Amino acid sequence: MPELPEVETVRRGLVPAMENATIKQADINRPDLRWPFPERMAQRLTGATVKQLRRRSKYILADLSTGETLLIHLGMSGRMLVSGDPLGQFAHDHPAPEKHDHVVLHMGNGARITFNDPRRFGAMDLLDTASAPEHPLLASIGPEPLGNDFHEDYLIARLSGRKTPVKSALLDQKIVAGLGNIYVCEALYRAKIAPKRHVNNLSNTEISSLIPIIRTVLEDAISAGGSSLKDFRQTHGELGYFQHSFDVYGREGAPCHTDDCDGQITRITQSGRSTFYCAQCQR
In the chain, where are the structural domains located?
4-134, 152-278
Exactly one of 2, 16, 143, 195 is catalytic; which is it?
A: 2
**Which pLDDT score is estimated for 87?**
60
State CA 123 to chain mean position distance.
14
User: How confident is the model over 208-239, as pLDDT tens digits?
Assistant: 999 999 999 999 888 887 654 444 444 555 54
**Which pLDDT score is estimated for 120?**
93
- pLDDT classification of 2: cutoffs 50, 70, 90: confident
Exactly one of 11, 58, 112, 158 is catalytic; which is it?
A: 58
251 noted as active-site residue: no
What CATH code is assigned to 4-134? 3.20.190.10
Work out the burial of residue 265: count CB atoms within 10 Å of its CB; fewer than 13 is exposed, 13-18 middle, 19 or more buried: buried
Q: What are phi and psi of 74, to 5 degrees?
A: -75, -20
Kindly tell me the sign of the dihedral angle through the C-alpha atoms of 138, 140, 145, 147. Answer: positive
Within this chain, domains 4-134 and 152-278 share the same CATH topology: no
State CA 139 to chain mean position distance.
17
- Name the amino acid, one letter, at 240: G
pTM of the model: 0.90
Exactly one of 3, 8, 68, 186 is catalytic; which is it?
A: 3
What CATH code is assigned to 152-278? 1.10.8.50
3 noted as active-site residue: yes
58 noted as active-site residue: yes
- pLDDT classification of 95: cutoffs 50, 70, 90: confident
Exactly one of 51, 162, 196, 273 is catalytic; which is it?
A: 273
